[in-house]
């Protein structure tokens, strides 16, 4: 039997508009017969509006008539075009061009050096590589280990910048949560305890006091310079 859309809504419609047995409706909708009985009694799915399986292409009129004529017949659902559209599509594995495949070890080395918080599974999915290759690069047992150097995967053209940033952010947030659960607080090298910043050490205070004691108050001559004015003798005579 194919999965159908809105099984309870479909069961509501079949209960209200057909003479099918509870067992037939339950089998078609993937429900328990007691649940279908509860729908018929108004105890289950009371606020759910019925969905016509014939109108949405999940059931043919011929199939419904055949089931109503024979209580032992079990209806077969049709493949719905809407169900196919709503079915989650499995993401295809990442394809890496042959010309770029030799660059993947360099990108792996870049992750291992600069972003150790990114897991091997995330690296494998992003670069389209295997966990064994990642382990070989980490242990330097890769066949080309002598030539492997860390290179940004964006520079190599293996991923986009937005995709890389999203992955690194996600990995960092997960690591922060895990550290918090373990009681490890995030370190911030720009912040220091108040006890270290509010009080100065004693040796620093002594040094400051010595500087102040040795400081000489400036004189007027130091500020304005020595006067070059010489009084005239005639002026003295006049006085």
Q: Cα 21 from chain centroid?
A: 48
Reported as a pLDDT band with limits 50, 70 and 90, residue 177 is: confident
Q: What is the pLDDT of residue 186?
A: 61
Using only C-alpha atoms, the chain has a radius of gyration, in whole angstroms, of: 41
Mean pLDDT, the chain, integer: 77
Statement: residue 197 has pLDDT above 50: no
Of all residues in the chain, what percent carry a pLDDT higher than 90? 27
Residue 120: CB atoms within 10 Å: 18
Of all residues in the chain, what percent carry a pLDDT higher than 70? 66
pLDDT tens readout for residues 60-116: 889 999 999 998 999 988 865 555 555 555 655 555 555 566 789 999 999 999 999
pLDDT tens readout for residues 13-57: 999 999 899 999 999 998 899 999 988 888 877 778 888 888 888
**193 CB contacts (<8 Å, ≥6 apart)?**
none
Supply the angle between the helices 22-29 and 7-17 in degrees, to the nearest 10: 150
Kindly state the average pLDDT of the residues 173-183: 83
């Amino acid at each position: 039997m194919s999965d159908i859309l809105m099984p309870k809504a479909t069961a509501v419609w079949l209960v209200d508009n057909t003479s099918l047995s509870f067992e037939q409706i339950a089998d078609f909708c993937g429900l328990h017969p007691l649940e279908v009985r509860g729908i018929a009694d108004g105890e289950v799915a009371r606020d759910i509006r019925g969905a016509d399986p014939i109108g949405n292409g999940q059931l043919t009129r011929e199939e419904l008539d055949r089931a109503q004529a024979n209580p032992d017949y079990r209806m077969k659902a049709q493949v719905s075009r809407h169900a196919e559209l709503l079915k989650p599509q499995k993401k295809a594995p990442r394809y890496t061009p042959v010309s770029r495949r030799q660059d993947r070890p360099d990108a792996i080395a870049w992750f291992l050096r600069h972003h150790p918080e990114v897991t091997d599974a995330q690296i494998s999915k992003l670069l389209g590589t295997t966990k064994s290759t990642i382990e070989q690069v980490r242990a330097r047992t890769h066949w080309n280990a002598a030539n492997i150097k860390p290179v940004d995967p964006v520079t190599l053209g293996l991923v986009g910048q937005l995709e890389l940033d999203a992955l690194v952010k996600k990995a960092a947030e997960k690591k922060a949560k895990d550290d918090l659960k373990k009681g490890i607080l995030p370190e911030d090298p720009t912040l220091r305890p108040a006890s270290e910043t509010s009080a100065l050490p004693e040796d620093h205070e002594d040094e400051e006091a010595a500087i102040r004691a040795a400081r000489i108050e400036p004189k007027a001559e130091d500020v304005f310079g020595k006067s070059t004015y010489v009084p005239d003798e005639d002026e003295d005579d006049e006085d």
